[in-house]
């Protein structure tokens, strides 16, 4: 079996577009949630979101700007991760290098634009690039084409766990010797009128905090009311360990374990057993006991059901040790990126190892007796010894994905 190193990080997020900027903002509990700037916000009941400060013109030519924001954010993150890793691959090496990207709904911005054009503006045709803008595999393809990577180019769509699945499966691809380098991560841009109306109808979006909109996401707090939609992308360079060492690459951490399970229960309701088993499987593959994990980045959506179920699942997986592990939901600051959430949160977890610090769960002012773990309320903690971290992602449909990374 091969070991898998993380050698590059790239991110576009509501809390910063550089890894260390992002981590510093999270440690300071600086939120990216605010009142929306979009004109369609006037037609919404809920007008808050976690928007990313991303301008495609900072990265691409006018030709590329014709594509959907979802794909462009992924490509920008991949470009940053590639630079961070200092990669230079020969044509022969590119045959063993691939791209694994997760997204929940693909090019929703383009879908929204086409619906508006056809049904409200009575146009007879839409953009000729509509199909390739909308297709869910466009982000992975943009990245593959940009770098000339000729290994697997795959897209995973498992709702909120999509990009954790993409990273986990990329890890296995390298572990079992099929590839040497993979750009893995996820992307999502659901800040569109149609998306918002759909999530509103489902009843899972957070109500706006009337005193301070930036504090509207309150995971694990008794007064939580749902999640805030965010947008962004995160891409990590995964590299076979000896390949990385041979070229003298800096190594952030090593991926050690991955657990994936299905609830087989309900299209939206989570289960303790499904989540708990995913954590246990990841621990088993990593060869770690319960006391080997020093931080958990929780799925922590701030919905009534998820936070209680995840709390119980962590207890199932870790027993009494669960009460002594710092656990936080950074969604409280960067919002919920849906298909891109897992990659962003895993990247944050890797930075926790690098910085020996854990970011907080912001806005946790009213503890919920049913959520009684150490949820690192309101202020980050530094000066720790973070040996290994766990990142949890649980998607609608019951697809659970858990990744463990450890210090090298």
Mark 317-354 as b/e (b = at least 16 C-beta within 10 Å).
Answer: bbeeebeebbbbbbbbbbbbbbbbbbbbbbbbbbbbbb
Catalytic residue among 160, 243, 334, 371: 160
Give the Cα separation of 189 and 119 in Å (integer): 22
56 in catalytic set: no
243 in catalytic set: no
Report yes or no: 350 and 389 within 8 Å, Cβ to Cβ: yes
First to last CA, the chain: 17
Catalytic residue among 142, 299, 334, 371: 299
Give the Cα separation of 44 and 50 in Å (integer): 15
Task: Read off the DSSP letter of residue 96.
Answer: T
| 314: nearest Cα among 228, 400, 408 | 400
Give the Cα separation of 278 and 80 in Å (integer): 31
Torsion sign across C-alpha atoms 315, 317, 318, 320: positive
Using DSSP, state whether 220 is helix, strand or coil. coil
Q: Supply φ then ψ for residue 365, to 5 degrees.
A: -105, -20
Q: Supply φ then ψ for residue 371, to 5 degrees.
A: -120, 80
Catalytic residue among 56, 142, 334, 336: 336
Report yes or no: 218 and 206 within 8 Å, Cβ to Cβ: yes
> Residue 8: beta bridge partners?
237
Give the Cα separation of 167 and 188 in Å (integer): 15
Torsion sign across C-alpha atoms 335, 338, 340, 346: positive
* Neighbouring residues of 208: CB distance < 8 A, sequence distance ≥ 6: 35, 46, 47, 48, 216
Cα separations in angstroms, 169 against 62, 290, 307, 403:
34, 23, 26, 10
Give the Cα separation of 389 and 349 in Å (integer): 6
- Strand 253-262 and strand 399-406: the pairing is antiparallel
160 in catalytic set: yes
Strands (E), 80-229: 97-102, 153-156, 181-188
Q: Give catalytic residues, as residue numbers.
A: 160, 299, 336
């Amino acid at each position: 079996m091969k070991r898998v190193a993380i050698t590059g990080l790239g991110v576009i997020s509501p809390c910063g577009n550089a890894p260390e900027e992002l981590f510093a903002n999270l440690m300071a509990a600086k939120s990216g949630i605010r009142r929306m700037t979009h004109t369609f916000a006037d037609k919404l009941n809920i007008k808050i979101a976690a928007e990313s400060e991303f301008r495609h013109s900072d990265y691409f030519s006018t030709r590329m700007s014709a594509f959907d924001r979802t794909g462009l954010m992924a490509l920008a993150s991949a470009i940053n991760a590639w630079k961070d890793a200092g990669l230079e691959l020969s044509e022969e090496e590119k045959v063993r290098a691939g791209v694994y990207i997760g997204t929940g709904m693909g090019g929703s911005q383009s879908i929204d634009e086409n619906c508006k054009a056809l049904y409200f503006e009575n146009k007879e045709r839409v953009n000729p690039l509509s199909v390739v803008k909308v297709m869910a595999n466009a982000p992975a393809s943009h990245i593959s084409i940009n770098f000339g990577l000729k290994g697997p180019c795959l897209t995973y769509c498992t709702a909120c766990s999509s990009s954790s699945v993409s990273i986990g499966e990329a890890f296995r691809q390298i572990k079992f010797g099929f590839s040497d380098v993979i750009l893995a991560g996820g992307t999502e841009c659901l800040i569109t009128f149609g998306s918002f109306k759909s999530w509103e109808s489902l009843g899972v979006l957070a109500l706006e905090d009337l005193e301070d909109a930036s504090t509207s996401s309150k995971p694990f707090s008794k007064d939580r009311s749902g999640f805030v939609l965010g947008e962004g992308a995160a891409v990590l360079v995964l590299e076979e360990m000896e390949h990385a060492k041979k070229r003298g690459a800096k190594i952030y951490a090593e991926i050690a374990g991955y657990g994936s399970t299905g609830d087989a229960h309900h299209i939206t309701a989570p289960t303790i057993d499904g989540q708990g088993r995913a954590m246990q499987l990841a621990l088993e593959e990593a060869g770690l006991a319960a006391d080997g994990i020093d931080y958990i980045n929780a799925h922590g959506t701030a919905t009534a059901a998820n936070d209680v179920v995840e709390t119980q699942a962590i207890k199932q997986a870790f027993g009494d040790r669960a009460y002594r592990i710092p656990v936080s939901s950074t969604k409280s600051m960067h919002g919920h990126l849906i298909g891109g959430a897992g990659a962003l949160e895993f990247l944050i977890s890797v930075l926790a190892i690098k910085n020996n610090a854990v970011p907080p769960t912001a806005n946790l002012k009213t503890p919920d007796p049913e959520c009684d773990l150490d949820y690192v309320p309101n202020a980050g903690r530094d000066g720790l010894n973070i040996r290994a971290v766990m990142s949890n992602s649980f998607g609608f449909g019951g697809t659970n994905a858990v990744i463990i990374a450890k210090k090298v």
